[in-house]
Amino acid sequence: MGLLLMNMLIHGTTCCILFYLLMLFSDNRRNAFYWFCFCRQPGLCSGHCLGSLAGYLMIGMFGTFSFFSFIKYIRSSDYKYLAAHILSFLFAMFSKETAILFPVVFCFYFFLIEKTRKSG
The pTM of the full predicted model, rounded to 2 decimals, is 0.82
pLDDT tens, position by position, 9-35: 888 888 888 888 888 877 777 776 777
Using pLDDT thresholds of 50, 70 and 90, give the confidence band for residue 48.
low
Query: Which structural domain, as residue segments, surrounds residue 94?
Result: 2-119
**3-class DSSP state for residue 9?**
helix
Q: Mean pLDDT for the chain?
A: 82
- Orientation angle between helical segments 79-95 and 54-76, nearest 10 degrees: 160
pLDDT tens, position by position, 71-109: 999 989 999 999 999 999 999 999 988 889 999 999 998
> Considering its fold, how many domains does the chain have in total?
1
